[in-house]
Structure formats: C-alpha cells, structure tokens
Amino acid sequence: MVLSFRPVVAAALLFLPIALLPFVTFAQAPKLATGTLTVAFAAEATMLDPTRSSAGVDQYFFGQMFEQLVRPDPALKRVNWLAESWEVKEEDGKPLLDIHLRKGVKFHNGDPLTAEDFDYAFQRQSDKKISIWTHLQAAVERFEIVDPLHFRIHFKEGDGSYIANDLTLWAMPKHYMERVGDEAFERAPVGTGPWKFVSRSVKEEIRFEAFDDYWNTENRPTVKNLIIKVIPEDLTRVAAFKTHAVDWIDAVPPAMIEEFKKLPGVVTASYPAPNNMYISMDALTPESKFYDVRVRQALAYAINIDAIIKNVLFGQGERYVEVGKGELGYDSDLKPYPYDPKKARELLREAGFPNGFDTPCYNLTTPREPYQKEVGEAYFAYASAVGIRCKVQGQEYGTWISFGRRQREGHIDGLYSNMWGHGLPGDPGTAWAGHVHSYVPGKGWGATSVHSDPELDALVEELKRTMDIPQRAALIQKIARIKHERVAGGLTTYRPVVTFAWRDTVTFRAWPMAFWRSMQEVGLKQ
Amino acid sequence: MAGFLARRVMQGIISIIGASIIIFVISRLSGDPIAMLLPNDAPASMIEETRRNLGLDRPLWVQYLIFAQHALSGDFGNSYRWKMPALQLILARLPATIELAVCGLLFSVAIAVPVGVMSAVQRGGWIDRIGRIFAMLGQAMPAFWVGLLLILVFAIHLDWLPAFGYGSPSQLILPAISLGWYPVAAQTRIVRSAMLDVLDSDHIRLSRALGTPERLIVWKYALRNAAVPLLTMLGVYFAAMLGGAFVVETIFAWPGVGRTVVEAVFSRDFPVVQAGVLFTSILFVISNLLVDISYGIVDPRIRDAR
C-alpha cells in the first residue's frame, strides 16, 4: 500500500494558520477591552479635579483619569509620562525646567494635549481661590510656551520639591474647562488618563470606561468598564469580596491577610504606603527633658519597633531609618537603633534622670493608618518601661492635626505620635522642611517642628533649592545621618504597608500612582 | 385641635432655632477646620487668607447671624471639602436615610407588636419567656455587631443577601434589620406592659362579660388603647434612627445622611454638619408632630381634651 502524504500536507497547510491564529492575533492586534471589573476602595475621594483637590485620598479617583508629566513606574523608578523629555537648565543664573510634551496625547473629549493646557494648569494651581496647593508654585517666576509641545517653567530660585512632586502639574483640558466651568467640570471631568469618567454616586460608587484613544498602548487597561465601590468598613469590604460582589479590594485588614493568602483563587500583594510614621518630641527649650540628645537617644533604644510591626501590625509595616527603601537618598548603611532598654536606662541616668520622669504623650485615636492608635499605645508603653513615664492623652484627628501645627499658640510638650508622608517613590524634602527645620513664622519652615538645629536648618534649606537629582540624593544622605545621630525632628519608626487582594481571574499590576490604587494595568482573563 | 397644632408648630420652630445655635457653637468649639483643609506646609499667609475667605475670622455671633440669614433662604454654604452646596449634599443623601429608617421602624414594629401582645396575653407562658429573652438580646446587641453578624450569616455563609450597597430591595433587608433590631426590645416591653394594664382594665372586663370574642378584645380594643405609649416611642425612635443610622450606614456602605454628617464632623466641615443636623432636627420635630396628631386619631379622649 502506498501512502500519499499530499492530503496530510494539504490539511496541515490548511489548519496551520488556524492553529496559529490566536498567537498571531495576540501578537499583532491591540488588546481588546471587554467586560466589567468591580473593585472596592476603603475610602472615597471628594474632588475629581486635581487642582481643587484637598486631600491625598482624592487621588484614588482622579488618579485614574488625570496624568502628570512624569510618574513613578511599578519599580518606583521615575519615568517620563506626558513629558517626552525634560531637563533642568539655567538662564541668567536662575534655574528653569525645559519640557517637551509627548506627541499624540488626547483628552477624553478628543482635544489634543498642548503646552497651553499645562500653562492653564499652572495658572489654576497658582490661584488661591481655586487651589490649596499654590505654595508649590511659589518659586516659579513665569511659564513660557515655546511651541505647542514645548514649554519652560522659569524659577526665581531653585525648588527641589518641584522635582520630588513629579513636576507638580496635572494635564488640565484648557478649552473644555473654559467652556464648561469648574462646577460642570467636577460633574464631568476630562483628563488624558486610561479611564474616562462615566458617572458618580457620592458615598456609593464611581464608574469609568476605558479610553480607546489612550496614548499608552503598552500599559493600559484591558477591561472595558471599571466600577469602584466605596466600602469603608473592613469586614463589609471583605464580605463583598468573599461573596464575589467585587473582584478586587484594597486595604485587606492586617489581621485577615494570612487568611486571604490561603483562599483558593485569590492573589494578594503588599506595598509600602507613602506615609512615614515617627514620634515627635519637644526638643525646643532647655526646660524640656527631650532637649538633651541622650534622652532622645534613650527613647530610640527603648522602643522595640520590630516587635510592634510583627505583633501589633501583623507584619504590615516596614521599618525605616530617616529615609525609606526606594526613596531618593536611601542609605542601606544607616541602621536603626537596636532595642536595648538597658542602654536606654543608662542614657537616662547620664542625662540626670536615674528615676525617669513623667511626660505627656499624645496619641491619635481616630487612625489614618491601620492600628495607628494601638501602635501609639505600644510606643508609650515601651517608653514608660524604661522610665519615660507617659501620661497618654488621646486625640481625634481634627484635634491631633491642629495640636501638631506650630501656627497655634505654644507647641507640643512631650511625645506625640506623628506622621508625614514622603510620597512615592519618596523624597523627604518637604517633610523635613516641615518637621526638621526650625519653625519660622510666616516663612513656611517648620510647620510642625519642635526642634531647632542651625546646621540642619542650613542643610534642609540647601535641599529645598537643589534640583539636581544626584546632588539632592547626596544631601539627603548627609542630613539623614545627622538627623539619625541626634534624633532630630523626631524618631522615625515605620512605613505602613497596604495589602490588596484580587481574584486570579483578574490581571493587575500595581502602579504607585493613587497610592498603588492606580488601575493603569488591569484586566480580566478571558 | 388647630390651636394645639399651632402651639406644637411654634414649639418645633423654637426647638429648631435652639438646635441650630447649639450645633453652630459646638461645632466651632470642636476645633479649627483650617488645619484640616490645608496641607501641612501651607504658609501662614494662606492659612489667614483661607480663614478670612470662610468667614472664620469674625466673632462667633456674627458668624451665626450670617449663617442664620443664609439658612432661611436655604443656603447653608459650600462644603469645605466637597466644594459644593452643603444642602445639596445632604438632600441627595436624605432619601436613602429615610428609606432605611422607615424600613427599620417597620421591621421593629412588625416584630415588637405581635410579640408584645402575645407575651401579655400569655403572661408567664412560653411566648412571654421567649419574648423576654428576645428583648434582652435586642438590648444587649448593638447595631454594629448585629450588622456584622447578619453579613457573616446571610451574605457570606448562606449567600442569600448582598453584604452592602444601595438600590435594590434585597440590599435594604440587612441594614433595615440591623437598624430596627435595637428598638424591637424596647418596643416589645412597652407593648407588653401597656397591654397588661389595658387587659386588666374595667372596659376590657366588661367586654369579656358581654361575650365579645377574645381575638377582637385583644387585637382591636386593647391594642388600640395600648398603642399610645408605643406611638410616643415610635416618634422618638424614628428620629433617633434618622440621626443615628451612621453606624449601620457605614457597615453596609449605605449612602445616607448619617455617614455624611459624621465624616463631616471628623473633617470639621461645618456647613455640612450644620445642614445635616438642622435637617435631622426638622425631621425630628415633624415626626413628633405626627405622633401628636396620631394620638388624637388613636384615642378620641386625648383629641377632645385638647
């Protein structure tokens, strides 16, 4: 019998393209956005307009729709975003930012992004009637449009925080906003981001649709619709996830993370929150016990931060020493004070307090971070154990935040559980200007500072002026070492860690934008 | 009756004015909103300017007069945080809260009246004993705990009802039960003791002697007389549910007034707090007025006495 290969070859030739079709399709065609993803956030934004925003949490929503010139990528590396390129130059001895915009970027209403839109964003952010962030533009002298895709920001003096804040400006659609006005814009915002606004029901949900003309074809959502539900109560959010009402949740309660890790078909991931916790202490006047560096160091030796992270926070914290891992100027050689209560008692004795002393200790009772109240209690219990006997006073958030501000009469008179975010990837410049630099009324320095050190003041001021990134990193390392040695401007403790959970039918890659809640790359598996 | 109602309306208006003064003063005593509105590094000039723009630099009594003048025309000012009219924010949330409070109240009455009546009728019997245990449990279990328990059982384990949300009848069941659970206990006790009094009264004995069917005596004659104290309670509880639904609203992510106002309290958003509390006060006064009117309907002697 003679076998003919001709039909086999013919069949192979016929079916081969069909067999390869899925691969060809995936390789060449853009990713199709289909389906609806429902997620749950623990907190809700108030404003959808980045310029009028009044709180960091607002980014949870507007961060899905609006974009900046640069942003950190998932590896916390700052990358050009709407800016194709940018550099710091000098003109007449003053710095300027020379920025070229990316071509082909469109707003959700179809308007092309131009330098005029950033000029408009700058004008709005400099207007005290519109924005509470005008001080971020205080060092800017003028905005110059070179051509539709090229502009310059001229500074009166160097402003390093401009760099640290991702060049501060958000792309705002000038023509659309001028046409509809602020109020209508709030109801129907338009940005350049991957998600287009559909509707919002306050205290309930916000709906988005993937923007088909989004400029970034590589890093974009592959699901058509996104619904963000607002579920503030931890256990309800967990229940919503377990009953499949939502497929992704933020802020898994720390006590339930181990349980979530064991759930079949569920993925969990943890990320450092852009908040830096520390303990302020009154080191302003010689009458204060904490004026003596040995007492401040005693406190540093007295508190077992690692144990607090492990046992109070269920591991949901990352210890940091002045500058967190991944932040600009992070120095892995800078080691934390070890837990050594014996050494703490010795230092107290040397400082003239063999029997310890009583001090007021202020704790936040309406936490902004998980278990913050309990962590504060643990700090003060450890302090009391070596002789820094805390008389703990609880404060709710409004009282706490007013109490810490130096604009009020007087200043704190003991220990104070505190926090000031360095952002993501993180740069401590703004925070240090606020709590390491001495308080200078009316000048913006030391808004919550209870410390005064002329050497550190000069270095922090230099840091504020420094826009060159390597120079800035070196300066941060220098300040961090001095600050750590002198326990100046507070004792740094930990950065909270936030954990998300999603079903394995969801694809999600966390971008640090919107405090890791950016739905930049999210989709549903087919 | 008209004179009585006019007096009640006047008293209600005075109560609302009193409530507006109290909430205005107390909210301002609670702290400075500026610290929460501006970033930590905001310069002093901006702090002063914001204070001036919001009118917070003026004497308290001037601030109140301006507030009262605007409030009379329905302008409670813009929310500091949401930057939209505070009244609009409250009114948008009000239907959800009223819906929840009405359903919570209906649930509590639906349980309390039959259990209370049967407990009184079968005094010392098994229904009475169960009713008392039920009442005790009701008062011992706070709404947040009941809410979480209901979510655990009916949403997670049985998967019968949604754990959160607003819009469909099924989403209303668990929040309404959580809100209505606590009043069930008190209402059951009120109905039981009122029924015991009425069932021992002369006119009930006379009805029995005349051979009136027991069912008619209990559910028509006795219950109608026993309803007066219950109605008083309902007015108070309805108002309390409107103002106190915050916990249940938070647990079930229910977009109501309570949650909005409490969040506004924490962020020192005075216009929202004032608009929310004043509206709750108005609803409180209206619900009490309705209770007063219902007295007359239930018991003609009260109406005639007036």
CATH number, domain containing residue A93: 3.90.76.10
Inter-chain residue contact A239 with B36, CB threshold 8 Å: no
Q: Comparing C-alpha atoms, which of A83, A416, A110, A456 is closest to residue A282?
A: A416
| 526 residues of chain A, pLDDT tens digit each | 444 445 545 545 444 444 444 444 444 444 556 899 999 999 999 899 999 988 888 999 999 999 999 999 999 999 999 999 999 999 999 999 999 999 999 999 999 999 999 999 999 999 988 988 888 899 999 999 999 999 999 999 999 999 999 999 999 999 999 999 999 999 999 999 999 999 999 989 999 999 999 999 999 999 999 999 999 999 999 999 999 999 999 999 999 999 999 999 999 999 999 999 999 999 988 889 999 999 999 999 999 999 999 999 999 999 999 999 999 999 999 999 999 999 999 999 999 999 999 999 999 988 789 999 999 999 999 999 999 999 999 988 888 888 888 766 667 889 999 999 999 999 999 999 999 999 988 778 998 999 999 999 999 999 999 999 999 999 999 999 999 999 999 999 999 999 999 999 999 999 999 999 999 999 998 7
Residues of B in contact with A448 (CB under 8 A): 40
Measure CB to CB from residue A233 to each of B42, B80, B253 and give the nearest one: B253
Cα three-residue angle A443-A448-A449, rounded to 5 degrees? 85
Does residue A285 share a domain with residue A185?
Answer: no
Domain membership of residue A244 (yes or no) is no
Residue A239 lies in a domain: no
User: Across the interface, do A239 and B256 touch by the CB < 8 Å criterion?
Assistant: no
Residue A520 counted as domain residue? no
Q: Which of residues 236-275 of B touch A (CB under 8 A)?
A: 250-253, 255-256, 259-260, 266-268
> b/e map of B55-76 (b: 16 or more CB within 10 Å)?
ebeeeeeebbeebeeebeeeeb
Q: Which residues contact B209 (CB under 8 A, 6 or more apart)?
A: none
Chain A nearest-CA distance from B78, in A, is 12
B45, closest residue in chain A (CA to CA): A442
CA B297 to chain centre: 23
Q: What are phi and psi of A524, to 5 degrees?
A: -115, 135
CB contact under 8 A, A233 and B251: yes
Residues of chain B in contact with residue A239, where contact means CB-CB under 8 angstroms, are 151-152, 155-156, 163-164
pLDDT at A27: 42
Q: Give counts: helices (H), strands (E), chain B.
A: 15, 0
pLDDT above 90 covers a percentage of chain B that reads 24
Residues in chain A with CB shorter than 8 Å from the CB of B255 are: 201-204
Closest to A399 measured CA to CA, from A369, A371, A362? A362
Residue of chain A nearest B53, judged by CA positions: A129
Higher-confidence residue of B29 and A334: namely: A334
Whether residue A296 sits in one domain with residue A147: no
Would you say A501 and A248 are in contact if contact means Cβ atoms under 8 Å apart?
Answer: yes
Closest partner residue to A398 among B82, B93, B266, by Cβ? B266
Question: Do B35 and A398 touch, CB atoms closer than 8 A?
Answer: yes
Q: What is the pLDDT of residue A13?
A: 46
Is residue A292, in this structure, part of any structural domain at all? yes
Whether A243 has its CB under 8 Å from any CB of chain B: the answer is yes
Q: What CATH number should be reported for the domain holding residue A462?
A: 3.10.105.10
Phi/psi for A99 (5° steps) reads: -125, 130
Please give the pLDDT value at position A402: 81
- Please give the residue of chain A at the shortest CA–CA distance from B261: A203
**Domain co-membership, A183 together with A291:** no
Q: Is B46 in Cβ contact with A135 (below 8 Å)?
A: yes
- Min Cα–Cα distance to chain B from A236, Å: 6
| Mean pLDDT, rounded, of chain B | 86
Q: Within the 302-361 window of chain A, which residues sit less than 8 Å (CB to CB) from chain B?
A: none
Contact A398 B49 (CB under 8 A): no
In this structure, the number of other CB atoms found within 10 A of the CB of residue A286 comes to 7
- pLDDT (tens digit, 9 = 90+) per residue, B218-230? 888 888 888 888 8
The residue in chain B having the minimum alpha-carbon distance to the alpha carbon of residue A204 is B255
- A262 at interface of B, judged by CB pairs closer than 8 A: no
Q: What 8-state DSSP symbol labels residue A220?
A: -
Question: Is residue A47 situated within a structural domain?
Answer: no
In chain A, what is the greatest distance between 2 CA atoms, to the nearest angstrom?
109
Q: Tell me the angle at which helices B86-121 and B270-298 cross, rounded to the nearest 10 degrees.
A: 40
Q: How close, in Å, is residue B166 to chain A by CA atoms?
A: 8
pLDDT digits (tens, 9 = 90+) for B240-274: 888 778 889 989 999 999 888 888 888 888 899 99
Between chains, do B81 and A245 touch, taking CB under 8 Å as contact? no
Is residue A155 domain-shared with residue A290, that is, in the same domain?
no
The Cα of A34 is separated from the nearest Cα of chain B by a number of Å equal to 24
Q: Which domain holds residue A456?
A: 277-496
Among residues A134, A168, A191, the one where a domain terminates is: A191
- Distance, in Å, from the CA atom of B27 to the CA atom of B35, rounded to the nearest integer, reads 15
Per the rule left: phi > 0, alpha: psi between -120 and 50, beta: everything else, A315 is left
Element (H, E) at A249: strand A248-249
Interface of A with B in 161-220 (CB under 8 A): 183, 186, 201-204
Determine whether the interchain pair A239/B152 forms a contact, defined as Cβ–Cβ distance below 8 Å. yes
Helices (H), A271-312: 293-302, 305-307
pLDDT band for position B299 (50/70/90)?
A: low
Does residue B78 have a pLDDT over 70? Answer: yes
- How many Cβ atoms sit within 10 Å of the Cβ of residue B162? 22
Cβ count near A45 (within 10 Å): 24
Nearest-angstrom CA–CA distance, B280 and A121: 40
Element (H, E) at B64: helix B60-72
Residue A111 lies in a domain: yes
Q: In what order do the strands lie in the sheet with A94-101?
A: A83-91, A94-101, A150-155, A140-147
B22/B25 Cα distance (integer angstroms): 5
State the DSSP H helix or E strand holding residue A151, giving kind and residue range, or none if neither. Answer: strand A150-155
Contacts of B284 (CB under 8 A, 6+ apart): B15, B239, B242, B243
d(CA A483, CA A487): 6
- In chain A, what residues touch B50 (CB-CB under 8 Å)? 132
Flag if B266 and A366 touch (Cβ within 8 Å): yes
Residue A315 lies in a domain: yes
Helices (H), A368-521: 372-386, 397-404, 429-435, 454-465, 469-486
Q: Does B168 touch chain A (CB under 8 A)?
A: no
Asked whether the beta carbons of A247 and A230 are under 8 A apart, the reply is no
Total domains, chain A? 2
Domain contains A9: no
Of A52, A398, A442, the CB nearest to B43: A442
Cβ of A128 within 8 Å of Cβ of B46? The answer is yes
Is the same domain home to A449 and A316?
A: yes
ipTM of the complex: 0.80
**Cβ <8 Å between A236 and B253:** yes
Residue A466 corresponds to which tokens in the numbers above?
Answer: 């420094």
Which residues on chain A are in Cβ contact (under 8 Å) with B158?
none
In angstroms, the CA A522 to CA A519 distance is 6
Chain B residues in contact with A129 by the CB 8 A cut-off are 53
A164 and A285 inside one domain: no
Q: Name the domain boundary from A163, A191, A219.
A: A191
A229 touches chain B (CB under 8 A): yes
Distance of CA B233 to the CA centre of its chain: 11
